[in-house]
Amino acid sequence: MSILVSTSKRIILVLTIAFLAVPIFPTVLPQARAQSTNTWTLTAPMSSPRADHTATLLQDGRVMVAGGVSGQDILSSSEIYDPNLGSWSATGAMATARGYHSAVRLPDGTVLVAGGATLIGGFAVTISSSEIYDPATGSWTSTASMNVARSSFALVLLNNGKVMAIGGFDARGRFVVACELFDPTTSTWSYTGALNTGRASLTFRSQVVKLTDGRVLVEGGIDPSHLSSLLSSAEIYDPQMEVWSFTGSMNIRRADHTGTLLPSGKVIVGGGDSLQPSTSEIFDPSTGTWTMSSTMAEFRISDTASSLLDGRVLVVGPIGPSTEIYDETTGTWTDSGSRGTSAGEHTATVLLDGRVLVAGGGFNGAYYSETDLFTPRARTLFRIDIFFTDPMLIQLSSDSNGNPMVDLSIAHGKVVNTHPSKVLAWINVTNTSGSPLQSLRLNATLPMDWRINSPWMPGLGAIHVYFANTTMLDTNPEITQPSTITLSTGNPQTVQLAIPSFNTTAIGHPLMPGQSLLLSVKLTSSLTGTNQLAASYPRTYSDTAVASAWTQPSFTGTESVGTSSAFFVAYARVLGDVNGDFKVDILDAALLAYSYGSHPGDPNWNPNASFDSDGVVDIHDAAVLAYYYGTSS
């Protein structure tokens, strides 16, 4: 019996996890293939063939795979794929080799891995241990064990920051009804509401789906009371009540299927080990009912389903190399090209740029290290307007010619602001698609005659995000993500920023059609200022931005402002000036003292008192004010 579970799992899966003797299979690597003429391309292979592993998207856009099954072995190794380099590199190994485990990225960017099966005395034994991977150090640290040993289960990050373990097989191969919560703040596991029906062979974003309101849906599976039968029932977990409740049942009994959240908030379920493995149906959480949808071209069991950044759904595997895409706007499945390998038990990860990384897997005793990249067709989803200004700072007074009045020195034909300044790029991004959007990656180009002096300090930068409709700002959260802001050194300079998921920000929900985000990116808070070529004011600029999230090649948008308003308005601040009167005095000291120790969202928070833009008013800001005390413009 192979460690790699066949597509007809049922009774075999239970026996495999409970007391599996590991046979020796030859490792079969896939044959190299030519690049697809359509949308699939071959990228570098992993260092080890593996199936039933986990793949986790890190905050910086890389992908970390961990563990899995490879021939006669269960792996402890981990490796990282860098989409920018198109290559894999080794990282720290887990303390415990494991396959059939589950993984989830925690809010702080670390990765929790729990449970699964490991080899003890040549047998696969289900375990309860957990460990956490830190991308900053590339190392694993053991954390508390689950209360129940489980494999082939799901981990789901809830909106409250806790992680829920759902279902699975226990150490004796029995279906687990118990669910438990991991609290990252205390590193402890505690029981929560139990499933009404034991379910196993679960993975998040397949049989387990987190709904838009934060509840969790689980559907189908093998019937624990009769292992040759399947379930059609579905349950929903309410994190507020910590209770599972039955909802409407599917029209077709199925297991090893996929379930994916759609832009509308509905869930599409397709394929699976059933009498009709090419069918799909849609669940409406608002009514608790299921409706049959269109049929896939192929029958699919133990495949993967990935929600693309434009809202469509890509399914991959397992029996043949063909893939398909479901589009909610048309309600149809269409061919999306073929991989070079027939494999199940693989992983599919949506990258920040919208491509999908499909890694590893196995079939009929062969285990694969091959990885492919899928690039969806491009869609125009954005209207992008860019302007460089700071409405929160006081505009400088102007002379009779409209030029800003600041202390300037002329050198080599450039007007140099002698006062340290904070320059912010304000970018208005509007969703012009028909689907909710989930993340953002954008490059903005500064006007030709403006640049940020080096050294720029990205560690002191911040992204301010304003969720807006067409007329007003709804909320004003601040998101500090210095690592996602980069600034080029050329002329003109470009600013690149990324928000991997709106759902993890203070906004907390997708960008809906017609809605906008207003983003301000602090380009510098160092003691250098900005350089500017001599120019008359007001002046009209035309600039470009490139957005590469939601779309697959980049979409370039151009925005020109009207002649009646300046595209760039010059602002300057005296460092240490809190109230904006261009001098540092006792009033500024009093304002800083009042805001001392505050963070964004606190009632006494004042962003102008955080001179280094690190999200807190602290001793560093007090030192800056003390140093510049008594200065003025």
- Report residue 166 as tokens: 């759902």
Using DSSP, state whether 19 is helix, strand or coil.
helix
Residue 1 lies in a domain: no
What CATH code is carried by the domain that includes residue 293?
2.120.10.80
Q: Does one domain contain both 248 and 317?
A: yes
State the pLDDT at residue 194: 96
User: Using one digit for the tens of pLDDT, what is the confidence trace for 236-251?
Assistant: 999 999 999 999 999 9
Mean pLDDT of the chain: 71
Q: For residues 113-136, give the mean pLDDT.
A: 94
Q: Does one domain contain both 408 and 274?
A: no
Residue 40 lies in a domain: no
Q: For residues 34-60, give the mean pLDDT.
A: 82
Of the candidates 355, 374, 393, which is a domain's last residue? 374
Residue 2 lies in a domain: no
Angle among Cα 375, 378, 381 to the nearest 5 degrees reads 130
Structural domains counted in the chain = 3
pLDDT at 559 over 50: no
Q: Does one domain contain both 471 and 608?
A: no
Closest CA to 258 of 291, 302, 294: 302
State the pLDDT at residue 186: 96
State the pLDDT at residue 317: 79
One-letter amino acid at 382 equals F
Would you say 160 and 144 are in contact if contact means Cβ atoms under 8 Å apart?
A: no
State the pLDDT at residue 459: 38
Give the lowest-confidence range in 17-26, 120-129, 282-291. 17-26
Q: Does one domain contain both 365 and 386?
A: no
Q: For residues 447-468, give the mean pLDDT.
A: 44
Q: For residues 447-465, give the mean pLDDT.
A: 44
Positive or negative torsion for Cα 170, 173, 174, 175: positive
Residue 4 lies in a domain: no
Residues listed for the chain: 633
Peptide bond into 482 cis (omega under 30): no
User: Using one digit for the tens of pLDDT, what is the confidence trace for 335-376?
Assistant: 998 887 778 889 999 987 788 999 999 887 889 999 999 988
User: Using one digit for the tens of pLDDT, what is the confidence trace for 480-511?
Assistant: 443 345 555 555 556 565 665 665 555 556 66
One-letter amino acid at 506 equals A
Give the lowest-confidence range in 97-101, 277-281, 335-339, 545-549. 545-549
Q: 10 Å Cβ neighbour count for 624?
A: 21
Q: Does one domain contain both 274 and 366?
A: yes
The confidence band for 446, taking pLDDT boundaries of 50, 70 and 90, is low
pLDDT at 575 over 80: no
Residue 59 lies in a domain: yes
Residue 601 lies in a domain: yes
Q: 10 Å Cβ neighbour count for 335?
A: 12
What CATH code is carried by the domain that includes residue 565?
2.60.40
**How far is the C-alpha of 409 from the C-alpha of 534, rounded, in Å?**
11
Which of 158-162, 528-532, 557-561, 626-630 holds the top average pLDDT? 158-162
Residue 174 lies in a domain: yes
pLDDT at 96 over 80: yes
State the pLDDT at residue 587: 78
Q: Does one domain contain both 321 and 442?
A: no
Q: For residues 262-276, give the mean pLDDT.
A: 85
Of the candidates 539, 573, 607, which is a domain's last residue? 573
Residue 431 lies in a domain: yes
Q: Which residues contact 607 (CB under 8 A, 6 or more apart)?
A: 392, 478, 600, 613
What CATH code is carried by the domain that includes residue 585?
1.10.1330.10
How big, in percent rounded to 5, are the helix, strand and coil portions of the chain? 5, 35, 55
The confidence band for 18, taking pLDDT boundaries of 50, 70 and 90, is very low
Would you say 133 and 187 are in contact if contact means Cβ atoms under 8 Å apart?
A: no
Range of the domain at 236: 10-29+45-374
User: Using one digit for the tens of pLDDT, what is the confidence trace for 530-558?
Assistant: 333 333 333 333 333 333 332 222 222 22
One-letter amino acid at 530 equals T
**How far is the C-alpha of 154 from the C-alpha of 512, rounded, in Å?**
28
Q: Does one domain contain both 206 and 326?
A: yes
Q: Does one domain contain both 437 and 488?
A: yes
Q: Tell the residue number behind the tokens 């009912």, with chain if given.
A: 289
Would you say 212 and 509 are in contact if contact means Cβ atoms under 8 Å apart?
A: yes
Q: Does one domain contain both 18 and 60?
A: yes
The confidence band for 3, taking pLDDT boundaries of 50, 70 and 90, is very low
Q: Does one domain contain both 297 and 263?
A: yes
Q: For residues 389-403, give the mean pLDDT.
A: 37
The confidence band for 516, taking pLDDT boundaries of 50, 70 and 90, is low
**How far is the C-alpha of 556 from the C-alpha of 239, rounded, in Å?**
41
User: Using one digit for the tens of pLDDT, what is the confidence trace for 209-239?
Assistant: 999 889 999 998 887 777 667 899 999 999 9
Q: Does one domain contain both 161 and 235?
A: yes
Q: Does one domain contain both 622 and 490?
A: no
SS (H, E, C) 138-179: CEEEEECCCCCCCECCEEEECCCCCEEEECCECCCCCECCCE
Of the candidates 526, 551, 573, which is a domain's last residue? 573
**403 vs 498 pLDDT, higher one:** 498
Angle among Cα 199, 205, 209 to the nearest 5 degrees reads 70
The confidence band for 619, taking pLDDT boundaries of 50, 70 and 90, is confident
State the pLDDT at residue 504: 55
Q: What is the CA radius of gyration of the chain?
A: 27
User: Using one digit for the tens of pLDDT, what is the confidence trace for 590-601?
Assistant: 888 888 888 888
The confidence band for 418, taking pLDDT boundaries of 50, 70 and 90, is very low
